[in-house]
Chains A and B, each alone.
Chain A
Amino acid sequence: MGTAQLIQNLLNGISIGSVYAIFALGYTLVFSILGIINFAHGAIFTLGAYLTYALAVGQFGINGLLSGMSLERQLPFALALLVGSVLAGAIGVLVERFAFRPLRNRGADPLLALVSSLGVALVIVNAIQYLVGAEIYTFPAGVYGELPPALMFQVSGHPVVIRTVQAIIFAVCLLILAVVGYLVRFTKFGKALRAVAENPATASLLGISVDRFILVTFFMSGFLGGTAGALVGTSFGVAGPYFGVTYGLKGLAVIVLGGLGSIPGAVLGGVVIGLSEAFVPADYGAYKEAVAFAFLFIVLLFRPQGILGRKQLQKV
């Protein structure tokens, strides 16, 4: 592999890896607060892609209930991404309110919450199919405005290409990671959030409203999932209502690889999986999806708690 190819793979890997990171962070936040995996996260990813597409492009195709309808005004991409992600966050809040909280209040087994979230995923995916059909929606060129489609430069005589969308993805993800990292690490909000994650009963004895923090966590998680979906959608097209399923599974591989419940672990795991995929030779492109899991198996053989995970302490 030449230097140019190496650099190209690194750039590709870091860009897609940064999306995996913010997506996986959505899983991690909910897991660290409730100790459960929210299986609706992949569906929220899909939903985020559709919402941003709808707001930015304003019309859908020939299938589904919304066929032929169009919005009078389209939002600029940045605003569509923001509003779409906020809406995805709001859906996340509804998921907590109606799929998780009632079970929690009844003291139900966490396994039931897992099944409940699978049900939510089905509802979301089917609702999307019903509304807009199963066709692939591609963001039109120039959706970002007057930017060139790609940057190109030479490394020892060979071209290296950075697509504009890759640069945008990386910049958006970096910004989000910085904001979330700052919030969780340094603010009063973040300290309270970590207190709820460590011990909800103790947190409530400090005057922290645990239920409210759980809602906020689901909002953040939905926002992150929605953004990730929209970013992947602009890069590769919004490929039908089941678009999020592969990413949902990949996101699970990322958090287990990085260490369940660890925020730096989710970020590191995302970048590692992104990079390992980018280095799959083009001839073996069909095996790309398998790489994440192969990598996961290998790491877990040596570090069952994940790269940055702490050894599990059984809660009494």
Chain B
Amino acid sequence: MALLELENVSVGYGSIQAVRQLSLTVEEGEIVTLIGANGAGKSTTLRAVSRLLKVRQGAIRFDGRDITSLPPDRVVRLGIAQGPEGRQVLALQSVQDNLELGAYVRRDREGIREDLARMYRLFPRLDERRHQLAGTLSGGEQQMLAIARALMSRPRLLLLDEPSLGLAPLIVLEIFSIIRDLNAQGVTILLVEQNAKLAMQHSARTYLLEAGQMVFSGPSSELLEDERVLRAYLGG
């Protein structure tokens, strides 16, 4: 059974149908990438899974359980965390408070403390700035904070929306190596990326969206060699 399963999901804003009849699965332990042009419906898909957007049609199942109409906070409690696009850190709270809020749904104080220390090991730059307001961090640091904060809930499934957006190439590589480490430690990841090539190099399978519909899916290695994909998305 897949950890995450979308079955014929349609999502829209007002009269706009942003995602149409989308079906996809993410197996436990995988990294799966969702690529596509701007406005193809990638972020919409993640926001639907996080339940920030209403699903008009179809079903979303997590670990076999129907989550199609749960409120967002319940989904987090079930084990899905999202590092939102645009690094939605809480600018007016400190780095440490942001991380502690990431563990909002947990009650195990010991475990939270351990995870906090782990995040600071993983992202030493956050450690240096732990008492700074999150709004004063650089873009890269805010991105790290958004990822670290999502991890603080100890999710089974991590949704990452554009983790490389607007970051310097070196920091992008750093973030991808962290994503791979996390996956090696057992976190399943569904990744949305503009930087399609890099994302596919780091993932087992890829779905390609176009105008809200799935047009291609398969092992990332195959897609990386596909003429169509190369031409359309990798500038090849």
Contact = CB atoms under 8 A, between A and B. Distances in A.
Interface of A: 188, 191-192, 194-195, 198-199, 201-202, 204-211
Contacts of B102: 206
B92 A207 contact: no
B133 to A, nearest CB: 11
A65 to B, nearest CB: 41
Contact of B71 (A192, A198, A209): A209
A262 B81 CA distance: 31
Contacts of B88: 199, 201-202, 205
Interface string B75-103: 01100011010001111110001001110
Contacts of B84: 201-202, 205
Given A205-B82, A206-B76, A206-B102, A198 B52 contact: no
A191 B105 contact: no
Contact of A198 (B82, B91, B104): B91
B101 A209 contact: no
Interface string B139-158: 00000000001000100000
B213 interface: no
A210 B51 CA distance: 13
Interface residues of B, number: 24
Given A198-B93, A209-B73, 7 more contacts: A194-B93, A195-B93, A198-B91, A198-B92, A204-B73, A207-B77, A208-B101
Given A194-B92, A202-B88, A206-B153, A188 B71 contact: no
Contacts of A194: 90, 92-93
Choose among A195, A207, A211 the residue with the greatest number of B CB atoms under 10 Å from its CB: A207
B43 interface: no
Contacts of B101: 191-192, 195, 206, 208
Contact of A205 (B50, B77, B93): B50
Contact of A207 (B90, B91, B100, B153): B153
Interface string B178-210: 000000000000000000000000000000000
A188 B100 contact: yes
A208 B105 CA distance: 8
B89 to A, nearest CB: 8
Contact of A201 (B52, B89, B97): B52
A192 B73 CA distance: 12
A198 B90 contact: yes
Contacts of B89: 202
A207 B90 CA distance: 14
A124 B167 CA distance: 55
A205 B52 contact: yes
A207 B77 CA distance: 6
A162 B80 CA distance: 59
A297 B77 CA distance: 49
Nearest to B102: A206
A207 B97 contact: no
Contacts of B153: 206-207
A35 to B, nearest CB: 15
A195 B76 contact: no
Contacts of A208: 73, 101, 104
B93 A204 contact: no
B82 A207 contact: no
Given A188-B104, A191-B100, A195-B101, A210 B93 contact: no
A149 B127 CA distance: 57
A208 B74 CA distance: 9
B93 A206 contact: no
A85 to B, nearest CB: 29
B12 interface: no
Nearest to A310: B92
Nearest to A211: B71
7 contacts: A192-B104, A198-B91, A201-B52, A201-B88, A205-B88, A207-B76, A207-B105
Nearest to B135: A198
Contacts of A211: 71
B29 interface: no
A81 B88 CA distance: 42
A67 B153 CA distance: 57
Nearest to B52: A201
Contacts of A188: 100, 104
Contacts of A206: 76, 101-102, 104-105, 149, 153
A158 to B, nearest CB: 48
Nearest to A202: B88
Contacts of A191: 93, 97, 100-101
